[in-house]
Amino acid sequence: MTTVPKRMADLPRDRHGRIVPWFVAWPGGQPDHRVADHHKFHQALRAGLCWLCGGVLGRHKAFVLGPMCAVNRVTAEPPSHRDCALHAVQACPFLTTPHMTRRTTGLPEDHIDPAGVMIRRNPGAVGVWITHSYTVQHRADGPLIEVGDPSEVLWYAEGRPATREEVLAAIDSGLPTLREQAEAQGAFAVRQLLEEGYPAALALLPATATGEGA
């Protein structure tokens, strides 16, 4: 079991005693762990704040992302501290329970979907993508973050380091969806996915069965 990073220990708790990450929205005065506060999205990017604890980030930006995001390198979630991200992938129930689906009932009415096409299924494996750079793309349906080349990618499944096979299976199961999206954009996008995005993601998989190293 992971210990709570000092930066996250002082965050508010919900009525079950669970830590409420900084990005979580509080509709009606109660935290809804499924919903990100879109004001925090802009605040985090503008001020360089950690998505999970709200503290100021250093040079390293750690993105918590699914295997599909490792292929197309875009995410809707701003970066976090490395230790905050590593804690989240080991302790957050949404990230550690492969068959848990996010309930969508009772979402606040003003809830805004993140920009871009989200793949609404639990990916089975989650990565902590550590980089020094990212760019924000302003699309018609809202901003998306393109992550820079990683210095390190650490993969987790069920709260422990993922095996190479688990990450590979997660990537391959999502590939048809990515391919459909690329086909809608044209032949260039398909070629880019199959010749660049997909092989580049495979190169970032855990090298060994224990999930250590990338």
Q: Which stretch binds Zn ion (CB under 5 A): 52-60, 117-125, 164-172, 183-191?
A: 52-60
Q: Which stretch binds Zn ion (CB under 5 A): 83-91, 118-126, 138-146, 161-169?
A: 83-91
115 interacts with Zn ion by CB under 5 A? no
> Residue 193 and residue 173: Cα distance in Å, rounded?
15
What does each C-alpha distance from 186 to 46, 71, 116, 178 come to in angstroms? 33, 17, 17, 12
193 interacts with Zn ion by CB under 5 A? no
Number of Cβ within a 10 Å radius of residue 28:
7
Q: Which stretch binds Zn ion (CB under 5 A): 42-50, 163-171, 191-199, 201-209?
A: 42-50
The answer for residues whose C-beta is within 8 angstroms of residue 79's C-beta and 6 or more apart is 50, 51, 57, 61, 62, 63, 85, 131, 134, 145
| Choice from 40, 61, 73, 81 touching Zn ion (CB under 5 A) | 81
Q: Residue 55 Cβ, how far from Zn ion at the closest point, in Å?
A: 5
92 interacts with Zn ion by CB under 5 A? no
How many residues bind Zn ion (CB under 5 A)? The answer is: 7
Q: Residue 32 Cβ, how far from Zn ion at the closest point, in Å?
A: 20
Q: Residue 142 Cβ, how far from Zn ion at the closest point, in Å?
A: 24
Sites of contact with Zn ion (CB under 5 A): 7, 50, 52-53, 55, 81, 84
